[in-house]
């Protein structure tokens, strides 16, 4: 067993849960039980929100700390997470199937980078300014922390996406109640240990593991001031409906069906582009919201693009997530594998040509694996081109000229990521500017802590990361003097 806990982290302490219910954690690679934690109940959410409220409202509480003091605490948390980075990567990889080589870089390393970046923004920061009044006098404009934040984190990048939320919230002066996904809870408890070791004040970050019902309770809680959610578009709509009714600010980072646009002059040499192509289309077993799973290929080079992707997918090492050589691990759960396989069957029945993959690896008797899969002759209106599969499945779609490529890229309900592949970077930037999406890369795709991340259309509301991230957890107050 990888880890087991009997207490919840609420109000800066390890406390007895209000219920005897537990979350049993299963390895995605072996289907064996690897851990167990208490499942939080509504009473635990109440206690967490109350602790967060006290930590926020106290006259000497977190919201009143100078930005430099908050930055120092965030730096301590970054150091504690860095000290636990190997164990964090191991726990995430074992739970959700993320290859350990990727988990080490992202789940082990990226939260540290995010915290240090955001802490650095607080150096010399001031959240109050004076402006001359148009009608005379002076206007004092303050950026004040919004309050208690309910943060709901998914299973695919549990620590990275948690850091996107609590990092900006802490920098702004907010306190947090975080609900991790039941599929990935062991890492959340390691985060709690880091929070305690970093001497983050009691109640500033509280962790309540549970399912959808608990998340809904947190979203609607009367003492929560803002919600930050990452997950499916369907779930995001439900969160948005609740927040809309309550007039509660919300940040939503939702699904995607991004386009990887291969221009006529693109270099298709896998020895040169293979690493970047993997990061942009199949990283984390395809369980990544921004991936360019619709590959748009010019008709003049369509067969070449299909052959390149087939060779690329076939070359990837599929295996146990904890094996350093693995590039494609298992799906996060049996239910999710069933969902991905349903989309593969739908693609074939709708007339797309299955080029490679489409099944389960024959040499793996345990684990929820799906072979890297490439479909050709896909129409952009097809189900596999319009709905998010969230697995290692690519659809190759033909286009005529660049205008046609942009039309197809924008013909989707989503707008989160994307990429343009070309030997002319300036032309690539011109194409990128015309794609309706929140983020897009040229010959690569990798979110950067210094740039806003988020989507348009059904991919969400608001942005995380970048200098703008802190402002998402603040509200403006004007004082007329």
Give the pLDDT score at 417: 98
Residue 253 among the catalytic residues: yes
Strand intervals (E) in 292-344: 294-298
pTM beyond cutoff 0.85? yes
163 by Cβ neighbours in 10 Å (0-12 / 13-18 / 19+) ranks as buried
Digit-by-digit pLDDT tens for the chain (481 residues) are 899 999 999 999 999 999 999 999 999 999 999 999 999 999 999 999 999 999 999 999 999 999 999 999 999 999 999 999 999 999 999 999 999 999 999 999 999 999 999 999 999 999 999 999 999 999 999 999 999 999 999 999 999 999 999 999 999 999 999 999 999 999 999 999 999 999 999 999 999 999 999 999 999 999 999 999 999 999 999 999 999 999 999 999 999 999 999 999 999 999 999 999 999 999 999 999 999 999 999 999 999 999 999 999 999 999 999 999 999 999 999 999 999 999 999 999 999 999 999 999 999 999 999 999 999 999 999 999 999 999 999 999 999 999 999 999 999 999 999 999 999 999 999 999 999 999 999 999 999 999 999 999 999 999 999 999 999 999 999 999 9
CA-based torsion, 161, 167, 170, 172: positive or negative: negative
Annotated catalytic residue, options 253, 371, 388, 464: 253
- What is the gyration radius of the CA atoms in the chain, in angstroms? 23
What's phi and psi for 374, nearest 5 deg? -125, 125
Q: What is the largest CA-CA distance in the chain?
A: 77
What CA–CA distance (Å, rounded) separates 315 from 374? 13
| Beta carbons of 392 and 337 less than 8 angstroms apart | no
CA 54 to mean position of chain CA atoms: 29
Annotated catalytic residue, options 39, 289, 371, 388: 289
CA 314 to mean position of chain CA atoms: 27
The CATH number fitting domain 259-448, selected from 3.30.360.10, 3.40.190.10, 3.90.1200.10, 3.40.309.10: 3.40.309.10
Q: What is the pLDDT of residues 320-333, one digit of tens each?
A: 999 999 999 999 99
First to last CA, the chain: 62
Q: What is the pLDDT of residues 402-443, one digit of tens each?
A: 999 999 999 999 999 999 999 999 999 999 999 999 999 999
> So where are the chain's domains?
3-254+458-480, 259-448
Q: Give, as one character, the DSSP assignment of residue 362.
A: T
Residue 371 among the catalytic residues: no
The CATH number fitting domain 3-254+458-480, selected from 3.30.450.20, 1.10.3720.10, 3.40.605.10, 3.40.50.2300: 3.40.605.10
């Amino acid at each position: 067993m990888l880890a087991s806990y009997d207490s919840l982290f609420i109000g800066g302490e390890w406390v007895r849960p209000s219920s005897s219910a537990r979350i049993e954690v299963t390895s995605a690679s072996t289907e064996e039980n690897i851990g167990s934690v208490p499942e939080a109940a509504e009473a635990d959410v109440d206690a967490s929100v109350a602790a967060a409220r006290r930590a926020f409202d106290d006259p000497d509480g977190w919201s009143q700390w100078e930005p430099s003091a908050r930055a120092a605490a965030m730096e301590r948390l970054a150091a504690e997470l860095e000290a636990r980075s190997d164990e964090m990567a191991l726990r995430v990889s074992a739970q959700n199937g993320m290859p350990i080589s990727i988990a080490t870089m992202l789940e082990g390393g990226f939260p540290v980078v995010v915290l240090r970046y955001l802490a650095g923004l607080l150096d010399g920061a001031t959240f109050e300014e004076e402006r001359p009044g148009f009608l005379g006098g002076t206007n004092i404009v303050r950026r004040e922390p919004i309050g208690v934040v309910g943060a709901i984190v998914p299973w695919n990048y549990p620590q990275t996406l948690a850091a996107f939320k609590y990092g900006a919230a802490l920098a702004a002066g907010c306190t947090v109640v975080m609900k991790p996904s039941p599929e990935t809870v062991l890492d959340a408890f390691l985060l709690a240990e880091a929070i305690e070791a970093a001497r983050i004040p009691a109640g500033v970050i509280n962790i309540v593991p549970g399912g959808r019902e608990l998340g809904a309770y947190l979203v609607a809680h009367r003492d929560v001031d803002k919600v930050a959610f990452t997950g499916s578009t369907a779930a995001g709509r439900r969160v948005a409906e609740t927040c809309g009714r309550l007039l509660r600010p919300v940040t939503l980072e939702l699904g995607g069906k991004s386009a990887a646009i291969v221009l006529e002059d693109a270099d298709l040499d896998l020895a040169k582009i293979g690493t970047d192509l993997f990061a942009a289309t199949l990283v984390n077993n395809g369980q990544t919201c921004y991936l360019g799973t619709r590959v748009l290929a010019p008709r003049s080079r369509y067969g070449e693009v299909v052959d390149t992707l087939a060779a690329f997918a076939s070359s990837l090492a599929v295996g146990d997530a904890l094996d350093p050589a693995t590039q494609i691990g298992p799906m996060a759960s049996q239910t999710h594998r069933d969902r991905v396989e349903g989309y593969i069957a739908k693609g074939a029945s709708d007339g797309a040509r299955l080029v490679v993959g489409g099944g389960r690896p024959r040499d793996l008797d345990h684990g929820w694996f799906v072979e890297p899969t490439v479909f050709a002759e896909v129409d952009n209106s097809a189900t596999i081109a319009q709905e998010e599969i969230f697995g290692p499945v690519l659809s190759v779609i033909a286009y005529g000229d660049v205008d046609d490529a942009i039309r197809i890229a924008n013909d989707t309900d989503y707008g989160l990521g994307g990429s343009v592949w070309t030997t002319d970077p300036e032309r690539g930037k011109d194409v990128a500017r015309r794609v309706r999406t929140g983020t897009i890369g040229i010959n690569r795709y990798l979110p950067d802590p210094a740039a806003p991340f988020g989507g348009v259309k059904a991919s969400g509301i608001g942005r995380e990361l970048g200098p703008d991230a802190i402002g998402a957890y603040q509200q403006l107050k004007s004082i007329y003097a």
